[in-house]
Amino acid sequence: MSGGEARAVGVGSALTAPAPRPAEEASRLPTSEERELRLRVDRSSRRPVLVAFGCSLVALLLGSVFGLTASVQMHSPELAGPGWLTFGRVRTAHLNAMVYGWASLAMLGVSLWMIPRLVHQELKWARLAEFGVWIWALALGYQLVRILGGIPSGMEWLEIGLYTGDTFLTVGGGMVGVALLRTLLARAVPHLYVSVWYIMAALIWFPIIFITGNWPAWAGAESAAVNWFYAHNALGLWLTAINVGAAYYLIPKVLGRPVYSYQLSLVGFWTLGFFYSLNGMHHVIGGPMPTWMITTSITASVLMVIPVAAVAINHHMTVVGRFAALRYSPTLRFVVLGAMAYTAVSLQGIFTALREVNRITHFTQWTVGHAHVGVYAFATLILFGSIYYILPRVLRREWPSARLISWHFWLVLLGIALYVTALTVAGVFQGLYLMDPAVPFRASVDVTLAGLQARSVAAVMLTAGHVVFAWHVWRLWRRPTPERELAPFHALRPVVREAGS
């Protein structure tokens, strides 16, 4: 191999080549001792990862039922039921179960598994991390009961109680963060892979925005400003950061080749860190906020094209020429589609942040569709793909059924496509009707009806997909299939390198 080829690693200049081997890499390749370490690393994070994934799945099922219920009530309000089942409560319970339960707990599980792997070190203080996950999950469970009981704060994304919920989530998440930080400090590799940057940064950013958002000092317009500062950053600096980090690990791992351009991946990370935090103010366009602040936020939103393009180009160019791999790898199928959705939701977000577009889409179903491209099509699909990759390695047995994975994939893919299409179209018409003074307000509601009904069909598909997924996880957990147990690549079987290779 020439020196030129050796230097090409990470740049991906040769799309047909797998991963050119640089001379210096020969000394880095894992020995049998390193493989043994990898097994110990996976074993060290086993319990907290399983607790996090288990609790996240419970939240996923609960959140799906809440979401389906709220969706049906939007077009059939006569089905409201008793007080605790009214739209205002189940919709809030759905949001909190999905964001803080399903997504956040699954992300903690992914972080607890991925960071030790990437720093070649066993998870330190694993008990602390496990305890932290339990605190988070139990506190959230109590908060869901409170929300259904009619005691939310009324601030979107900040509904859970300050002293009975936020405090415990902060402490629980902090315990996970401390364990991961301790692991990072004990790392056995000098460099931090880009996924480590994303995940560890998210674990620092999230408590800051969470505490700022929940600080009990805001009132009136201040509340709205801080509310959207928090909610938007929860998407961009928490959900986005960990899931982009996971994609940067899983795509090269499955394809057996490094990312197209490692330089570009760092550009994406640092520009996200520098520019993202002011984005949230574009949610209050037209509100009682200083114009300069909203304009600054719009500018910051447009600047997001830099990290988004960096991630999009990198992920696409890593996979290009190998899209057939999606047929072989369920993990890659979910993660690549999730990565594509990241590009889509980000570009849609930039577009929506412009005043000319926002004045039509604001207060319409468009925003709900947009949020689901982000939290579901992007974050949730990547989390599904991550769990498909991680759980067999943690439980040391293979998924029992390829058919169930296919059912899960197609149900959620078609479900979210229908969901987003229906609400986006309905939202545009709703916005145009709202802006037309000649059109009665009632017409702007009626025009969304078909979209809302289609959304309920989509919600049924998504819920069914989640039930299939949970059932499959249960089968993996409870009924190991002996012939597929302990796949040899998990075992300590040294790879004998060919002489001269």
Could you say which residues in the range 83-142 bind another protein, by CB under 8 A? 117-118
Question: Nearer to another protein by C-beta: 95 or 278?
Answer: 278
Number of neighbouring beta carbons within 10 Å of residue 114: 27
- The tokens describing 144, both together, are 């869901």
Question: Nearer to another protein by C-beta: 160 or 254?
Answer: 254
What is the total count of residues that contact another protein (CB under 8 A)? Answer: 95
In angstroms, the CA 66 to CA 379 distance is 19
How far is residue 147 from each of residues 55, 80, 161, 167, 231, measured CA to CA in Å? Answer: 19, 16, 9, 16, 18
Task: Quote the crossing angle between the two packed helices 104-118 and 46-75, to the nearest 10°.
Answer: 150
Q: Which of residues 266-285 bind another protein (CB under 8 A)?
A: 266, 270, 273-274, 276-278, 281
Q: Which of residues 14-53 bind another protein (CB under 8 A)?
A: 14, 16-22, 24-25, 28-30, 35, 38
Shortest approach of another protein to residue 325 CB, angstroms? 4
Q: Work out whether 158 is an interface residue with another protein (CB under 8 A).
A: no
Q: What is the DSSP string of 418-463?
A: HHHHHHHHHHHHHHHHHH-TTS-HHHHHHTTHHHHHHHHHHHHHHH
Find the part of the chain contacting another protein (CB under 8 A) among 87-95, 343-351, 382-390, 431-439: 382-390
Q: Work out whether 474 is an interface residue with another protein (CB under 8 A).
A: no
Residues ≥6 apart with Cβ < 8 Å to 216: 162
> Are the C-beta atoms of residues 462 and 415 closer than 8 Å to each other?
yes
Exposure string of 411-435, with b = 16+ CB inside 10 Å and e = fewer, is bbbebbebbbebbbbbbbbbbebbe
> How many CA atoms lie within 13 Å of 404's alpha carbon, on the beta-carbon side?
15
| DSSP bridge pairs for 397 | 485
Shortest approach of another protein to residue 455 CB, angstroms? 29
Shortest approach of another protein to residue 122 CB, angstroms? 17
Gyration radius of the chain over CA positions:
23
Q: Which of 189, 320, 435, 449 binds another protein (CB under 8 A)?
A: 189
Give me the 204-223 binding string for another protein, x by CB under 8 A, dash otherwise: xx--xx--x-----x-xxx-
Find the part of the chain contacting another protein (CB under 8 A) among 39-47, 160-168, 183-191, 440-448: 183-191
Q: How far is CA 196 from the centre of its chain?
A: 15
Q: Which of residues 226-245 bind another protein (CB under 8 A)?
A: 226, 229
Find the part of the chain contacting another protein (CB under 8 A) among 125-133, 191-199, 358-366, 439-447: 191-199
Q: Which of 138, 290, 417, 449 binds another protein (CB under 8 A)?
A: 290
Shortest approach of another protein to residue 310 CB, angstroms? 14
Phi/psi for 397 (5° steps) reads -155, 155
In angstroms, the CA 377 to CA 460 distance is 16
> Are the C-beta atoms of residues 341 and 377 closer than 8 Å to each other?
yes
Q: Work out whether 478 is an interface residue with another protein (CB under 8 A).
A: no
In angstroms, the CA 179 to CA 175 distance is 6
Q: Which of 151, 192, 347, 357 binds another protein (CB under 8 A)?
A: 192
Question: Nearer to another protein by C-beta: 54 or 321?
Answer: 321
Shortest approach of another protein to residue 147 CB, angstroms? 26
Q: Which of residues 325-364 bind another protein (CB under 8 A)?
A: 325, 327-332
Q: Which of 259, 350, 373, 416 binds another protein (CB under 8 A)?
A: 259
In angstroms, the CA 141 to CA 138 distance is 5
Find the part of the chain contacting another protein (CB under 8 A) among 41-49, 73-81, 142-150, 287-295: 287-295
Question: Nearer to another protein by C-beta: 40 or 127?
Answer: 40
In angstroms, the CA 293 to CA 222 distance is 13
Q: What is the DSSP string of 278-295?
A: GGGGGGGTTSSS-HHHHH
Q: Which of residues 412-471 bind another protein (CB under 8 A)?
A: none
Find the part of the chain contacting another protein (CB under 8 A) among 92-100, 263-271, 371-379, 455-463: 263-271
Q: Work out whether 487 is an interface residue with another protein (CB under 8 A).
A: yes
Q: Which of 250, 308, 345, 461 binds another protein (CB under 8 A)?
A: 250
Shortest approach of another protein to residue 139 CB, angstroms? 25
Question: Nearer to another protein by C-beta: 10 or 374?
Answer: 10
- The tokens describing 324, both together, are 């057939």
Q: Which of 402, 435, 449, 492 binds another protein (CB under 8 A)?
A: 402
Q: Work out whether 492 is an interface residue with another protein (CB under 8 A).
A: no
Residues ≥6 apart with Cβ < 8 Å to 309: none
- The tokens describing 38, both together, are 């990898």
Q: Which of 43, 75, 253, 359 binds another protein (CB under 8 A)?
A: 253
Q: Which of 3, 154, 288, 482 binds another protein (CB under 8 A)?
A: 288
Shortest approach of another protein to residue 300 CB, angstroms? 9
- What is the amino acid identity at position 92? T
Question: Nearer to another protein by C-beta: 228 or 429?
Answer: 228
